Amino acid sequence: MPMSQEVFGQFRRKRLFIAATIAALVLVVTLTFRFFEEKSHVEQQSRSFADRAIQRFDRLFSPLDIAANNTMGLVGLKCDQVRYPLIEKLAALQTIRSILLVDDDRIYCSSIFGASNISFSNAFPELAIASQRMMLVVDDQLLKGSPVLLLWTPRSLDNRSGILQTINIELMSSYLLEPTLPWVERAVINVGGKSLEYGNPMIEAAQPSEDEVSYIQASLRYPYSITLFGPEPAALAILSLPSQLPLALLLSALVGYVVWLATANRMSLSWQISVGINAREFIVYCQPLINARTNGCDGIELLLRWHNPRQGWIAPDVFIPLAERQNLIAPLTRFVLTEVVRQLPQLPGCAGFHIAINVAASHFHQQEIINDLQKLWWPADPKPQLIVELTERDALPVVDQSTVAYLHKIGVKLAIDDFGTGHSSLSYLKTLSPDVLKIDKIFTGAIGTDAINATVTDMVISLAQRLNIALVAEGVETAQQAEYLRDRGVNALQGYFYARPMPLTDFPQWLENWRQNGPATE
């Protein structure tokens, strides 16, 4: 796989991983949010049920309180005098089974049975002695065995006189405590430690089953409470999640897609190049140019390397073409110019030393390269000869050829890089009038192995010599290649046989070693 495709594939995989991770996170967060929302909804439904039940019971008990206070004047009168008024009261209060009058701790009159003589404290010690106002009991007189609620309204603080109302609590609970599924499965009214459950006529303690939880709410006006039994809210919330899944999946897919689009720029190599320039992730390298005749170092070609902390080393064959397409090649060239100007004091300060820099054809538009040289290069008063290398595959339009002419005018030489691999044209050579042709390493590597390409190499050398253009051969890796090119009059040699590309800061030390020892033996 080509290096560029591999790098772009890494970026696409990283974008896909980020988008998928965020989409999965959104799915989990959405379902979690819906879980807690549904759980809260279930709990709220239980609280609302209890609130409504309390309010309804209170509204039913309130008129009974009023009626008892209005009837309090009958207490103490003879039963035969008050029985018919009690019956009238009973008819007006449909939830009351009977009204009992208590005086001097004696239940002496009943709206149903008339006169009686029953000890109040013996019959109902919870009311008479413990001062309770309500009491759940079983009716043993009218509807034997049925549950009733006793509501005691005392006339005196000693609880020896007052009105006792027998309430048909089973009837009231049958429509006030009807469960609401699935939140409330069972509803219970509690009075004085005793309980009456909806649908169960027995007065007995109500306990939750293994899979139920309870919720209790007490009345603020009367001494009773409501207990609700139902499924665990979390269990109901979990059961609701499958219905939430399609919407959660749609939302997560949408967010993942948005992230995929949003990272198209930030996760692209072009964005990484912009970041790398500002973060000084690029490093200026150089490769020496060796004089084929004297074996001395006549100059260097500036190269750019990129160490991306997120991706490692990225080859120039990957980021240079992309930078050209994304209009980022000019900032990279300015970076190279800035760095070489900073290193000028450590480089040979003579006109015979050449510094070659690669410039893309797009950098020639509207004399942009000239403007950059005037801002960055000439203010440093450089002594070495500057050579601008234009890759042959980047053919210049006619309008930009005037820029080349101006470069010649101000003393900058032009080299055609990778000659023979792109727009080979005699008219192109004539129009640009290059000072140097650089033989591509493809042809250099063919020396001694490929007769056809070797012939092309000879033709390029002959062409340059006839046009009086200097020649630089790239990719020299063997002594045989160096000897072959030297014999044919190539002016300068460049390649691993002499030196690998090195950081520009290492060049002064390399040059010192070269002058003392010559080429290293391999």
Does one domain contain both 424 and 456?
A: yes
The pLDDT of residue 2: 47
Does one domain contain both 442 and 315?
A: yes
Distances (CA, A) of 230 to 208, 237, 239, 408: 8, 13, 14, 92
Alpha carbons 386 and 447: distance in angstroms, whole number: 30
Distances (CA, A) of 398 to 135, 179, 412: 108, 90, 19
Does one domain contain both 402 and 314?
A: yes
Q: Does residue 143 fall inside a structural domain? A: yes
Does one domain contain both 248 and 383?
A: no
Alpha carbons 73 and 118: distance in angstroms, whole number: 21
Beta-carbon contacts of 397 under 8 Å, excluding residues fewer than 6 positions away, are none
Does one domain contain both 470 and 428?
A: yes
Which one of 234, 267, 300 terminates a domain?
267
Locus of tokens 């967010």: 255
Does one domain contain both 31 and 172?
A: yes
Q: Does residue 277 fall inside a structural domain? A: no
Question: How does pLDDT run across 276-314, given as a tens digit for each residue?
Answer: 777 888 999 999 999 999 999 999 999 999 887 777 788
The pLDDT of residue 118: 92
Q: Which domain holds residue 173?
A: 1-267
Give the domain CATH number at 460.
3.20.20.450
Locus of tokens 């790239």: 474
Does one domain contain both 125 and 60?
A: yes
The pLDDT of residue 48: 92
Is residue 19 within 8 Å of residue 257, measured between CB atoms?
yes
Question: How does pLDDT run across 362-402, given as a tens digit for each residue?
Answer: 888 878 999 999 999 999 999 999 999 987 555 666 547 78
Q: Does residue 496 fall inside a structural domain? A: yes
Asked if omega into 233 is within 30° of 0 (cis), the reply is no
Does one domain contain both 106 and 217?
A: yes
Does one domain contain both 188 and 292?
A: no
Does one domain contain both 367 and 230?
A: no
Residues of the chain with pLDDT under 70: 1-11, 263-270, 392-399, 420-428, 450-451, 453, 519-522
The first and second tokens of residue 492, run together, are: 């300068």
Does one domain contain both 341 and 487?
A: yes
The pLDDT of residue 281: 86
Which one of 210, 234, 267 terminates a domain?
267
The pLDDT of residue 420: 67
The first and second tokens of residue 476, run together, are: 């020299």
Q: Does residue 520 fall inside a structural domain? A: no
CA pseudo-torsion sign 261, 263, 267, 269: positive
Give the domain CATH number at 168.
3.30.450.20
Alpha carbons 5 and 341: distance in angstroms, whole number: 34
Does one domain contain both 320 and 233?
A: no
Name the pTM for this structure: 0.57
Split into its structural domains, the chain has a count of 2
